[in-house]
Structure 1
Amino acid sequence: MSKALSSLSADRLLEKLSRPELATLYTDLKAYGERALSEPMPSLSFRLYRQFSDTGERKAYEEAYFDRRGRLAAVAMLALDTARKDALQALEEMLWDVCGEYTWCLPAHLGTGEVNQVNGNIDLFAAETVHMLAEIVTIHAERLDRLVIERIRSEAERRIFIPLYREQRKFHWRTADHNWSAVCGGCCGMAALLLLEDESTLQESISHTVSCMNAFLSGYGEDGGCAEGIGYWVYGFGYFTYYAEMLREYSEGELDLLKGSKITAIAAFPLRVHLSGGTYVNYSDSAEQEEIPSGLLSLLASRIGLQIDLPFHIPLLTDDPCHRWAHLLRNVMWSDPAVYSNEGASAQAERGFIFQNLGWMIAKGSFDYWDTKRMNGAPLHVAISVKGGHNDEPHNHNDLGQFIIHCGGENILCDPGAGLYTQAYFAPGREQLFHISSSGHNVPLIEGQEQDSGRQAQAHVLEAKLAEGGGELNTTLDLTSAYSGAASLARYTRQFHWKMAPGGSRNGAELRLIDRFQWKSRMVASAERFSSMGDSDAGCSSVVERWMSRVQPEVVKSGDLRWQGAHGTVHMTYDANQWQILYEKLDTVDHDNVPVTFYRTSLSWTGVIDETDVRTERPNSLETVCEVRFIIEPKMGETEVSMRE
């Protein structure tokens, strides 16, 4: 058995799978595996392969591709039981089948998919595949047919080791400062530790992979913030950690990448962006609800002392649409309920955090309220998050000044997260798509202009102060550079004032948002408001504020509306004399192609340029101010009433 996994054996894995906390995971694995034993592997047909280059669609091929990976993972686990001869035989057939695939890459990563783009190409999923095969063949080395083992070694050599280590081709991800360097480099590096017998090539692989890992870490600041969002933290830093731990074991502790204050800060990222109830800040291409691998968190807790104040939960294989083997195996190997505490129970749990490098601000608090359904008092967690940064980040959305209001496990004013990945999603003009455009975020449209793309569109943080305990947050951003197309705009600043009252009274959580639009020429409020969302006429300027939610808003009275979530309510008050309100229902699909509806609430203002005598203008005639007040409180209804009523 490889020195890199000398502590791993089929017997030990089978023993771990028998632990009570893994019972649900094992049931899920067994159901998936039994289906795989009774059905043929899905075909990766020529028509499916060509679909992306022909139409730009990638879903059908990828569903078949990831189902194949999931079946292989489940059957590899079933085959740990030496009495399951059928599982071992099926495992050999599946391994042989995967070795015969035209490419281990996804068509979406191969351009037009021609032969010259396939040969020697290594993407995320080719790397994941070679890693998966290497670990499976290591675990089952004593029982697999030698021809299967030889073919896996041969395919790994042909597809991965020759182009990467022997020919040293210049793959773009080798110096990437995002998840690709960690996943591609780490997966190939782990496969090398398991399969390579040539010592000089093995040492080359270690040097190569450590270089990839350093490139990956360069994308993080000292605050440990992940611009790609929580989902890509799991992906990138997860594979960084997996390689680091295998390398440490291989080198008998001499090479340890999980050291230093920056690593500690990166490891804390998911806890800092967790709002409550398994819901996270989800800027960029991340989902609100994210499965954090329990094995990964457990390993980080044991290695660097990470304090985990999340409920203990082991993700199922079927929870991950990609059915990733690396997460599955390490959830089995490393998951430790003893390192978890109940949500909010840890005395060291942070009630807020400012990511100075990333430009994210988060504050958290809680109410005490009486749940009449359960007949007990319970904390109702509330939070706010504000996003700065710039508009050329990995998996970028044009969302400077975006904010989230969270209550009771739900992002009531929300971020749309990732859309469905298609060819258009990563092509020029992508900023026109709803999930990426500023039109899908809680930021304004100014003079008919959405936010610009590019590094020059940057949020300049003028103030960011978080009170101890997270009860108060004051933030001011200058967002002028995001709206270069707004000809009359001189300056745009956005201020947030968040405060939790001591003791958590019913009206104890308040967010005041003040947007100031300074104009190059005098503006006079127009008597005729725009009735549409279109561009302004010549001689006019306009602002349309937008608020996104999955909850349909309700009008309480003029200047007062609310969003009523599952456990909490957000009230918004505004100046109805100056701002006209508009509601829209927007139907789209999420990253998994599941239909989702958003409700966009807009406040519009129109001003007419008055240049008759700018010298005698009133002090505020060059400025338009939108001030809104959000009150966050427990939901008042049949099942929940405030303890302080």
Structure 2
Amino acid sequence: MDKRERSVTLPTPRNLLQQQASVQQVKERLLPLNEWVPYPAYHNRNGWAQMTGALTDQLIRQGEKLLDYQWQVIKATDYLEYERSGSRVIMEQPYNANINALARLMIAELAEGKGRFMDQVVNGVWALCDMQSWALSAHLPVQRSKRNLPDPSEQIIDLVSGDVGSLLSWAVYFFKDDWDQINPVITQRVQQNIRKRILEPYMQRSDYWWQALENKPGQLVNNWNPWCNANVLTCFLLLENKPDSLAAAVYRTMRSVDQFLNYIKEDGACEEGPSYWGHAAGKLYDYLQLLSDASGARISIFDKPMIRNMGEYIARSYVGNGWVVNFADASARESSDPGLIYRYGKAVNSREMQSFAGRLLAGKEHKENVPVDRDLFRVLEGIKGYKELQQAPAVLIQAPYAWYPQTEFCYMNNGSGIFFAGKAGNNNESHNHNDIGSFNLYIDAIPFIIDVGVGTYTRQTFSNERYSIWTMQSNYHNLPVINGQPQLFGGQYRARSVFFDAAQKRFGLDMAGAYGPLAAVKEWKRTYTLLKNTLHLEDAFQLSTVKDTTALHYMTWARPVITRPGHIMVKKGTAGLLIQYDPAQLEPSVEPIAVTDPRLTKVWGETVYRLVLRVKKPALNGKYAIDFIKQ
């Protein structure tokens, strides 16, 4: 979570959703519940047999593994560990296990329909209702107490509490009649909990930061907004039976999601990186699809170019062989849901997205695997659309470039095995790293010049200690240290004079504005030019004084080997990269960096490397040229 402000000139609010309907029009356009939910009722066994199809046995087997599942208690000390050590996972692991178990048991019961899983479903919903809060320990410090033990007098809607509310709302929708035969208290208790924890606080409060209903100008709005609002919308659509109250709630979510759409750039890039696309643009899609379904497509903005741009970003950020462009806190490894991408692509009429989804599905080991977790809307949509997804063409459409002029991302692909990704922007983007002017370089779909990414989230990750973490610092990105100074955090530290020349395959910026006054840098104009077998990098600079070390840093996955002055080789498998520089100007050294965090070791192994090209004779002005040549 990041509530810091950015210093920006704000455009006129788009308010795309509020332009679609007033509160009264929302009331008139919403359909009765039994007319819009696109899934069979629980006892419609023919309907479920058709919907689950070839997935039926797999879905039932997943539930069978949980028939003896022991519902875990989240202890007070599990919450306290976040304050004591900064660990989130001690609380999150058992909690996530419970929620995902419930989702799989529900889907197994829907797929089979014999009541075999129902007792465990009831156990699961009962265990969740026993909790004082559905929010994560890491998110509870927004309570008035500022502490992370749940205060039952104050309900917090966060990502996971919303997921749980949505999951339980679907449980009520499908199983209410059968629960009432067991004991009516089950349904009553679940409904009371959803109302107390989700419906009432959402309507009574405007100060949840992610709602953005009380935002100051320029305040950041990230993936939390569509994610939480999609969950809230689900709860209201499935549980609120008073037309006036439902219309007011739906319109309130529209006002809130408009703040996200007003914040996002028109070009549609996800400044949080591809790993967050499913939580940002993907959750926006879920929200919009629910709204469209519930209104019979009479409230819909899928025809807006910006919505399509936001979708296609995920296809254009794919490099190949499971690698994606990873700026900010994103992982370099692809983890997208092909079904989500296909559905989004279908909604916005994007052949690029639909073909990309088919390509991703073709690369999955288990072609009949629809992920089943706590996000039940996506699970249901994935099952319903799986047969159609299997028919999608498995084609990766890679354009020679993708340019995002507002977000200031640039991708270039020369068709000869070199894929370049560079960024400008500012140093207060969502999930920010101090990385203005950095770049990634891939040879034959293998990362060579890399962005390491981010480790396991802890208390420090989203605190004032964030930039004490090495992966967040500019000195561990592909950037210069100037007069001994790294880039600084803040919206005022931003790129200047950003340009992209498609014909010349050139991307450039002045990154001097990313450094503070101690760097004494007037200009640092970096230009990237993509040639047939080479990426040419040129840094032209002006300093006001020379007072400390200046060096160029490049992070690599494989060990750089200095073969002779001016030549450095980097090899990974059969692919290779030659880095050429002027040895009269620059002195190379190679620093191995141990990788110990499991989130990073899964991607890079136990070591990455920093190649340092130290300036031998610092000057007030000049230029450095580096060639990265495919071997």
The answer on 1:436 being equivalent to 2:472 is yes
Shift in alpha-carbon separation, 1:406–1:340, aligned structure 2, 3 A: farther
Q: 2:379 aligns with which of 310, 313, 328?
A: 328
* The structure with more strand, counted as a fraction of residues: 1
Match of 1:97 in 2: 127
Q: 1:366 aligns with which of 411, 415, 419?
A: 415
CA distance in 1, matches of 2:71, 2:235: 24
CA distance in 1, matches of 2:245, 2:608: 53
Match of 2:321 in 1: 277
**Which gives a bigger RCO, structure 1 or 2 (Cα 8 Å, sep 6+)?**
2
CA distance in 1, matches of 2:371, 2:587: 43
Question: Helix, strand or coil for the counterpart of 1:170?
Answer: coil
CA distance in 2, matches of 1:319, 1:441: 36
Question: Helix, strand or coil for the counterpart of 1:235?
Answer: coil
CA distance in 1, matches of 2:104, 2:324: 29
The answer on 1:132 being equivalent to 2:167 is yes
Match of 2:259 in 1: 215
Report the TM-score when normalising by structure 2.
0.85
CA distance in 2, matches of 1:434, 1:480: 21
Match of 1:603 in 2: 613
Match of 2:429 in 1: 393
Is the 8 Å Cα contact of residues 416 and 435 (structure 1) preserved in structure 2? yes
What whole-Å deviation, never above 9, does each CA across 1:531-580 have from its counterpart, x for those lacking one?
Answer: xxxxxxxxx43211111122222233222122222352211111223211
* The structure with more helix, counted as a fraction of residues: 2
Query: Displacement, 1:322?
Result: 7.3
Task: Note the 1:202-601 alignment, pairs <5 A.
Answer: 202-307=246-351, 308=353, 309-310=355-356, 311-313=359-361, 324-335=375-386, 336-337=388-389, 340-344=392-396, 346=397, 349-367=398-416, 381-467=417-503, 473-500=505-532, 509-521=533-545, 540-590=547-597, 592=599, 594=601, 596=605, 597-601=607-611
Shift in alpha-carbon separation, 1:77–1:322, aligned structure 2, 3 A: closer
Query: Displacement, 1:319?
Result: 9.9
For these two proteins, the number of residue pairs brought into alignment is 570
Q: Give the structure with higher Rg (CA).
A: 1
Shift in alpha-carbon separation, 1:84–1:3, aligned structure 2, 3 A: closer
The root-mean-square deviation of aligned C-alpha atoms, in Å, is 2.5
Q: 1:170 aligns with which of 197, 203, 207?
A: 207
Is the 8 Å Cα contact of residues 102 and 124 (structure 2) preserved in structure 1? yes
The answer on 1:155 being equivalent to 2:187 is no
Task: Note the 1:189-208 alignment, pairs <5 A.
Answer: 189-208=233-252
Aligned-pair identity in percent equals 21
What whole-Å deviation, never above 9, does each CA across 1:285-332 have from its counterpart, x for those lacking one?
Answer: 111222222222222232221123421429789998975434333222
Shift in alpha-carbon separation, 1:318–1:442, aligned structure 2, 3 A: farther
CA distance in 2, matches of 1:600, 1:289: 20
CA distance in 1, matches of 2:373, 2:494: 34
Is the 8 Å Cα contact of residues 584 and 616 (structure 2) preserved in structure 1? no
CA distance in 2, matches of 1:279, 1:446: 31
Report the TM-score when normalising by structure 1.
0.83
Is the 8 Å Cα contact of residues 419 and 445 (structure 2) preserved in structure 1? no
Question: Helix, strand or coil for the counterpart of 1:221?
Answer: coil
Shift in alpha-carbon separation, 1:446–1:487, aligned structure 2, 3 A: closer
Shift in alpha-carbon separation, 1:594–1:33, aligned structure 2, 3 A: farther
CA distance in 1, matches of 2:544, 2:37: 70
Question: Helix, strand or coil for the counterpart of 1:586?
Answer: strand
CA distance in 2, matches of 1:318, 1:583: 43
CA distance in 2, matches of 1:405, 1:487: 27
CA distance in 2, matches of 1:150, 1:313: 41
What whole-Å deviation, never above 9, does each CA across 1:20-40 have from its counterpart, x for those lacking one?
Answer: xx58xx64x555433322230
What whole-Å deviation, never above 9, does each CA across 1:230-264 have from its counterpart, x for those lacking one?
Answer: 12221122222112112212112211132311111
What whole-Å deviation, never above 9, does each CA across 1:96-141 have from its counterpart, x for those lacking one?
Answer: 1112112100011111124548722111111111111112332334
- Structure 2 gap ranges (5+): 1-31, 142-146, 213-219
What whole-Å deviation, never above 9, does each CA across 1:45-94 have from its counterpart, x for those lacking one?
Answer: 12111111222111121111111121111111111244553312211111
Query: Displacement, 1:602?
Result: 0.8
Is the 8 Å Cα contact of residues 567 and 581 (structure 2) preserved in structure 1? yes
